[in-house]
Structure 1
Amino acid sequence: MESNKIENLLNAYFEGNTSLSEEKILKDYFNNHRVAEHLLQYKPIFVGLHVAGMEKSKQQLDTFEIKTSGIKPWWYSVAALLIIAFGVGAFYLSQPQLTAEEKEALVAFEKSKQAMMLLSENLNKGAGQLDLVDEFTVSKNKFLK
């Protein structure tokens, strides 16, 4: 009966479907000296796992502490805020300040640009009318021939 239970646990173990308690049962069974004859082939696996779990490193690891220079973490926030404020201020102060004469020139430029657009639209309408005259001339020449 115990052999069937162990076989079922082995199948589940190799499929990756066992819990830690079931794996402990398998390790305990195979680390005993009374393993069934047909299951002896699995004994080296579990004995090796047991031995690997018992290994301990004898190497000493040197650890060291990182000493801070006394700067508190909130100072980083203050520094970041000052940098952002400086950047925003520099951006606004670097914007060109126009004189009254330059502002008047910009207004005059906009007005002349609007006038040129109006002229361009009217010329395009006139060019469209000339296309109709050209078509009339072509049709007239066909009848007169």
Structure 2
Amino acid sequence: MELSNIEKLLEKYFEGETTISEEKELKVYFTRETVPSHLERYKDLFQYFSQESTITATKDLKLNTSSKKSRYAWMGIAASIALIAGIFLTNTPPNPDETLGTYEDPEIALQETKKILNMVSQLMNEGKQELVYLNEFESTTEKLTK
């Protein structure tokens, strides 16, 4: 067999594009006694494959198809359904009378709104202080690019 053909087959093999007959050719080639030195590293691989393909099972496997396993499987499925149903049935929607965040008195609502907006403003200003470093970085990069 031609050496360049074997090298092409090896490339195809490692790309996963060979057919079964091409793989058999490679196995036959690498189980020979003489293999070129640059392909010696593949010899053990293909010899292993050819040896392992001859192994057959010596015992019959018996599958245990007892009803206990299927019963446990059905119990697990039933428990899962019961759990999901319990979660959805106990999670009742809130009463419209118990709505949170609403105020009857407009003055109290205005005071709470001002308090929350003041807190948001303070947090925004804290974040704005950190942007000073970004402005400094930007001015430095502008100096370097000019």
TM more than 0.5? no
Q: TM (normalized to structure 2)?
A: 0.40
